[in-house]
Amino acid sequence: MDKKTVRDVHVRGGRVLVRADFNVPLDKATGTVGDTRLRATMPTIEYLREHGAKIILCSHLDRPGGKVVEGLRMAPVAKRLSELLGTPVRSVRDCVGQEVEDAVWELKEGDILLLENLRFHPEEEADDPNFARALASLADLFVNDAFGAAHRAHASTVGVAIYLPAVAGLLMEKEIDSLTKVTANPERPFAALLGGAKISSKMGVINNLIKKLDMLLIGGGMACTFLKAKGLEVGESTVGEEQVPLAAHLMELISKNGTKLFLPTDVVIADAFSADAHYKTVPVDKIEPGWRIMDIGPETVKLFSAQLEKCKMVFWNGPMGVFEFPAFAEGTKAMARELAHLKAITIAGGGETLAAVEEEGLMDKMTHVSTGGGASLEFLEGKVLPGVAALQDK
């Protein structure tokens, strides 16, 4: 990575503002916190503790809309982070103001303070310079470890870097280095396994990677559009009509490039978009009117797996079906298990892909699982991420 990291600067005794991505699942009834993203940021926090920094963590949580929402306070995150680190993590009830300033000045080397949800202030998403300056005034150094928010030009990702020396955290470094392997010089044969609902959300990725890909495997809602573009009946499957010509164009582009395209050969269909709908597995040319595609079928899992076994690198983004319904999650879970045992570099994108890998207990079986959904896609499209561009060059 061509940006400075926390390893390149002196931190002992200094106040370090760390932008983390603690936008985690939060069970408001029990206070239970999903901790995958907390664990991902722990190497940066532990590095700073070991090197005597005074650590000020900040993050957003969900979308409170620029106002205080009691159920979206950061206190449960601080509690869980304290358990994981084995050291106290104090939380405060705002991210700027006198209470925060007093808490910061009380910090000793190795102490950790977590600020309140940044998005309680509308100025955060507006990248308001006064809000950014107030955050920056708390510290001597800014460390951005929030790759999942790096595609957002917000006060805490871009604005603060105007007022403080800004470097990458260890997670940010790992994310960029891992995803650069996909875009710069991937191991061959190289495959992309793409799912999710819309082709348009993956169009930039396909365009940017097409000349590097040996094969492209498509499942999820995207596959419905490709199947319709081939003239097949897809019943009540959700297909944006404007997406069909785009699918046809992509198939032509893929063919011209010599990349092998694999679409589902069988699918799980249901008579309603519901967790308890009636369902069955059929070949893709036997989908009846009134039914809809909800998942890839077992023969498709075998086909995709056989192709991926040939690869030295695989990038995966997007579920293979309606993953939130247990009856239609098996295709996604099966592909997670397949990638986990491949003797290849396996890099999975964030969002629902992260959730699937985590649910199957396979996080440590992948080469890298990105914590950023939208950020990882934009990076793979070749876009400059504002939160990365704001960091100091080496």
Q: What would the pLDDT profile of 260-292 be if each residue is shown by its tens digit?
A: 999 999 999 999 999 999 999 999 999 999 999
Distance CA 387, CA 379 (A): 11
Average pLDDT across the chain, whole number: 94
Q: Is residue 390 part of a domain?
A: no
Cα dihedral angle (267, 272, 275, 281), rounded to 10 degrees? -20
Instruction: Give the three-state DSSP class for 275.
Output: coil
Whether residue 166 is found in the same domain as residue 207: no
207 and 155 inside one domain: no
Domain edge (last residue) among 127, 150, 171 = 171
With respect to residue 25, please indicate whether it lies within any of the assigned structural domains. Answer: yes
User: What's the token pair of residue 183?
Assistant: 């875009």
305 and 222 both lie in a single domain: yes
Cα–Cα distance measured from residue 257 to residue 159, given in angstroms and rounded to the nearest whole number: 41
Nearest alpha carbon to residue 268 among 189, 321, 202: 321
Per-residue model confidence (pLDDT) at position 319:
94
Sheet holding 368-369, edge to edge: 260-262, 215-218, 190-194, 313-317, 345-348, 368-369
Q: Model confidence over 47-70: pLDDT tens digits? A: 999 999 999 999 999 999 999 999
Distant-in-sequence, close-in-space partners of 256: CB < 8 Å, separation ≥ 6: none
- Residue 192, amino acid: A
Residues 109 and 186 in one domain: no
Does residue 31 register a pLDDT over 80? Answer: no
Does residue 394 sit within a domain? no
pLDDT tens digits for range 98-118? 999 999 999 999 999 999 999
Top-confidence residue, 100 or 360: 100
Whether 258 maps to a domain, the answer reads: yes
Q: What is the pLDDT, as a whole number, of residue 286?
A: 95
Closest alpha carbon to 377 in 315, 308, 295, 311: 315
**Domain ends where: 152, 171, 190?**
171
Whether 231 and 110 map to the same domain: the answer is no
pLDDT at residue 194 tops 80: yes
Number of domains present in the structure of the chain: 2
Q: Do 294 and 243 belong together in one domain?
A: yes
Please state the φ and ψ torsions of residue 266, each to the nearest 5 degrees: -140, 155
Query: Does residue 222 share a domain with residue 113?
Result: no
Contact 387, 151 (CB under 8 A): yes
Is residue 1 a part of any domain in this protein? Answer: no
Does residue 295 share a domain with residue 189? yes
Query: Contact 115/100 with Cβ under 8 angstroms?
Result: yes
Contacts of 146 (CB under 8 A, 6+ apart): 19, 20, 21, 59, 156, 157, 172, 387
Is 216 found in the same domain as 154? no
Helix (H) or strand (E) holding 89: none
- Looking at the structure, do residues 202 and 153 belong to the same domain, yes or no? no
**Is 256 among the domain residues?**
yes
The residue from 125, 140, 171 where one domain ends is: 171
Q: Choose between 377 and 140: higher pLDDT.
A: 140
Produce one character per residue of 80-119: b if its CB has 16 or more CB atoms within 10 Å, e if not.
Answer: bbbeeeeeebebbeebbeeebeebbeebeeebbbbbbbbb
How confident is the model over 315-342, as a mean pLDDT? 95
The reported pLDDT for the residue numbered 239 is 85
Within this chain, do residues 160 and 218 fall inside the same structural domain, yes or no? Answer: no
Predicted structure pTM score: 0.91
CATH of residue 248's domain is 3.40.50.1260
> Does a structural domain hold residue 386?
no
Residues above pLDDT 90, as percent of the chain: 83
pLDDT of 240: 76
**385, part of any domain:** no
pLDDT tier, 387 (very low <50, low <70, confident <90, very high otherwise): very high
Mean pLDDT along residues 247-272: 94
325, 375: one domain? yes
Residue 25 pLDDT > 90: no
Residues 291 and 272 sit within 8 Å (Cβ to Cβ): no
For residue 153, the enclosing domain spans: 6-171
Catalytic residues: 37, 198, 351, 374
